[in-house]
C-alpha cells in the first residue's frame, strides 16, 4: 500500500501563507485598537468641552449688575474683560448648608498654562487675606479670547471701554473662542442684557 503525504515544500508554502495572513490580521487588529483609543479620547475631550461650556453658560445667564471691591479696596466693574480674562458677578450661588453668605458670587474665567480655569471668591468684596478657589475645566487649550459685541457691530476686547457714548454701540453679547489642541476652534456667543453694563 502506497502512503501519500505533503512534501516539505508544500508545508513551507502553507506555513508562509499562514504567516502572511496572520501578520495582516495582527496589523489590522492593532490599527482597530489605536482607532478605538483615539475615538475614546476624542469623546472624553468633547464631554469635557460640553461640561465647561455648560458651566460657563449657566454663569453668564445669571450675570447681575453688582460691582465688587478687590483685596486692595479698589472697585471692580460688574463685568471685566482684559488680557483674555473674563470676570463678572453672578446670582444663584446655591447655599445648601445655609452658611451666612450672599447668593451672589464673583467668578473669573482665564487661561493659565494651557488650562482653562474657573475661579471664584467666597466673598464678593474681598479681604486682603481671602483666597480664591480655582477649578480646571479644560486642558490642552492653546488660546482663549473674549470679545464684547455691540449693536453697531463693533467689538471690544477690553471692558469697560473708556468711551462708549454712542447709543448705537450698546453691548448685546459676549463672544468666547477656545482653541483646543487636536480639536480646533470652539466658539460660543452669549446674549447679555445691556442694563447690566
Domain ranges of the chain: 59-196
What is the average per-residue pLDDT within 66-78?
87
Contact criterion met (CB below 8 Å) for 151 and 169? yes
Q: Is the pLDDT of residue 117 over 80?
A: yes
Q: What is the pLDDT of residue 196?
A: 65
Higher pLDDT pick, 30 / 82: 82
Q: Is the pLDDT of residue 166 over 70?
A: no
Burial grade of 106 (CB within 10 A; 0-12, 13-18, 19 or more) = buried
Q: What is the pLDDT of residue 12?
A: 83
Q: Is the pLDDT of residue 3 over 70?
A: no
- The answer regarding whether domain 59-196 maps to CATH 3.40.50.150 reads no
Specify the long-range contacts of residues 34-42, CB closer than 8 Å, at least 24 apart.
42/182, 42/183
- Identify the CA nearest to 55 among candidates 98, 92, 101: 92
Higher pLDDT pick, 46 / 93: 46
Q: How many residues does the chain have?
A: 197
Contact criterion met (CB below 8 Å) for 78 and 196? yes
Q: Is the pLDDT of residue 194 over 70?
A: no
Confidence of residue 144 (pLDDT cuts 50, 70, 90): very high
What is the average per-residue pLDDT within 11-24?
83
Residues linked to residue 87 through DSSP beta bridges, in sequence order:
80, 108
Q: Is the pLDDT of residue 28 over 90?
A: no
CA distance 67 to 78: 4
Which value, in Å, is the radius of gyration of the alpha carbons in the chain?
Answer: 29
Burial grade of 68 (CB within 10 A; 0-12, 13-18, 19 or more) = buried
Residue with cell 480646571: 136
**Mean pLDDT rounded to a whole number for the chain:** 84
Q: What is the pLDDT of residue 126?
A: 81
What is the average per-residue pLDDT within 24-42?
79
Q: What is the pLDDT of residue 125?
A: 84
Q: Collapse the DSSP code of 21 into the 3-class scheme (helix H, G, I; strand E, B; otherwise coil) and give the result.
A: helix
Amino acid at each position: 500500500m502506497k502512503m501519500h503525504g505533503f512534501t516539505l515544500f508544500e508545508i513551507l508554502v502553507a506555513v508562509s501563507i499562514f504567516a502572511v495572513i496572520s501578520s495582516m490580521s495582527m496589523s489590522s487588529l492593532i490599527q482597530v485598537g489605536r482607532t478605538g483609543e483615539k475615538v475614546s479620547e476624542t469623546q472624553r475631550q468633547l464631554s469635557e468641552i460640553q461640561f465647561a461650556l455648560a458651566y460657563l453658560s449657566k454663569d453668564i445667564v445669571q450675570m447681575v449688575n453688582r460691582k465688587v471691591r478687590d483685596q486692595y479696596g479698589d472697585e471692580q466693574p460688574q463685568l471685566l474683560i482684559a488680557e483674555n480674562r473674563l470676570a463678572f458677578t453672578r446670582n444663584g450661588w446655591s447655599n445648601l448648608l445655609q452658611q451666612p453668605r450672599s447668593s451672589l458670587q464673583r467668578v473669573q474665567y482665564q487661561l493659565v498654562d494651557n488650562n482653562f480655569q474657573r475661579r471664584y471668591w467666597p466673598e464678593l468684596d474681598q479681604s486682603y487675606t481671602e483666597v480664591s478657589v480655582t477649578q480646571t475645566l479644560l486642558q490642552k487649550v492653546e488660546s482663549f479670547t473674549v470679545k464684547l459685541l455691540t449693536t453697531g457691530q463693533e467689538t471690544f476686547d477690553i471692558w469697560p471701554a473708556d468711551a462708549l457714548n454712542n447709543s448705537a454701540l450698546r453691548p448685546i453679547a459676549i463672544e468666547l473662542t477656545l482653541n483646543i489642541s487636536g480639536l480646533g476652534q470652539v466658539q460660543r456667543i452669549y446674549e447679555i442684557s445691556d442694563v447690566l453694563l
